[in-house]
Amino acid sequence: MLNTETTESAGPHIKDVLGEARPAQDQAKQARRKRVLPVVAVLALLVGALGIGTTLPDPKSSKAYVALAGEKAAAESDRDSVKSDYDSMKSKYDTLQNGIAAREAKVLARETEVGKADAAVKTADAAVKKREEAVTGAEKTKAANTIGDGTWTVGKDIEAGTYRAAADVGATCYWGIYATGSNGGNIIKNDIPGGGRPSVALSGGQDFKSSRCGKWEKQ
C-alpha cells in the first residue's frame, strides 16, 4: 500500500508535474490540428474543383465561342481570297512589266534604226545638194561661157578662148572677128561655114559677131 504520508507529501509535486504536462500535450495537439487543417482545406478545394469541372459546360460549345469561331473562319476566308486576288494581280502586273520592258527595248531599237536612217538621209541630202550645186555651178559656168547671135566684146562680154558651135550650123550662118571699137570696119577674120560645127579662137581686144549660127560654147 502507498504510504499516505508519502502520497500526501508527494501529491503537490505530482500535481505540478501533471499540471505542466497537460498544457504541453494540449499545445502539441493544437499544433497538429494547425498542420492538418491546411492540408484538408487543399484537398477540399481539389475535390471541389474536380466536382465543378465535371459539372461546368464545355466553353467551345457556347454561342459566343461558336460566333467568334465563325467570324475567325470568315476573316481567314476573306484574307485568303484577298491574297489570291493580290497574287493574281501581281502576276498580271509582272507580265505587263515584262511586256513593257520588251516593248521599250523594241522601241529603243527602232529609234536607233530611225536615227541611222535619218543620218543616212541627211548624208544623201548633203550629197544631192552638193551634186546640185556642182551641176548648178557647171550650168552657170556653161551659161556664162555660151553665147548666141549678136556682137560680143572679148574680155568684157565674154572670156577669151576657143568657142565652138553647139550644133551643126545652117547655110546662112555667118561669123566675124573684128578689132574692138572698129564697129565692124576692121575685120580680122570671118566665114560663112555653110554647115558643120565651126570653132573660133578669140583674144582680148577683139569683137565677135555671130548671125544665124545658133549657140557657141567655150571649150
Residues 125, 66 share a domain? yes
pLDDT tens digits for range 147-161: 999 999 999 999 999
pLDDT tens digits for range 38-87: 555 555 655 555 555 555 677 888 898 888 888 899 999 989 999 999 99
Structure letter (DSSP) for residue 61 = G
Of 102, 119, 144, the one marking the end of a domain is 144
Q: How confident is the model at residue 203 (pLDDT cuts 50, 70, 90)?
A: very high
Residues 116, 182 share a domain? no
Q: How far is the C-alpha of 132 from the C-alpha of 125, rounded, in Å?
A: 10
Q: How far is the C-alpha of 166 from the C-alpha of 143, rounded, in Å?
A: 12
Residues 157, 84 share a domain? no
pLDDT tens digits for range 1-20: 334 444 344 444 434 443 44
- What is the distance in angstroms between the CA of the first residue and the CA of the last residue of the chain? 194
Residues 140, 63 share a domain? yes
12 or 93: which carries more pLDDT confidence?
93
Cell numbers placing 217: 560654147
Q: What are phi and psi of 51, to 5 degrees?
A: -65, -40
- The percentage of the chain sitting over the pLDDT mark of 90, rounded to a whole number, equals 43
Q: Which of 19-28, 42-51, 167-176 has the highest mean pLDDT?
A: 167-176
pTM: 0.42
Residues 139, 186 share a domain? no
Of 144, 160, 194, the one marking the end of a domain is 144
Residues 211, 154 share a domain? yes
pLDDT tens digits for range 29-44: 666 666 555 555 555 6
Residues in CB range of 185: below 8 A, 6 or more apart: 178
Of 144, 175, 191, the one marking the end of a domain is 144
Please count the structural domains in the chain. Answer: 2
Q: State the CB neighbour count (10 A cutoff) for residue 200.
A: 20
pLDDT at residue number 44: 61
- Please state the rounded mean pLDDT for residues 117-132: 84
Helix (H) or strand (E) holding 190: strand 187-191
pLDDT at residue number 58: 79
Question: What dihedral do alpha carbons 152, 190, 159, 141 form, nearest 10°?
Answer: 90
pLDDT at residue number 28: 64
Residue 162 clears pLDDT 60, i.e. is over it: yes
On whether residue 206 sits in a domain, the answer given is yes
On whether residue 2 sits in a domain, the answer given is no
Domain range for 196 is 147-218
| 154 neighbors 209 (Cβ within 8 angstroms) | no
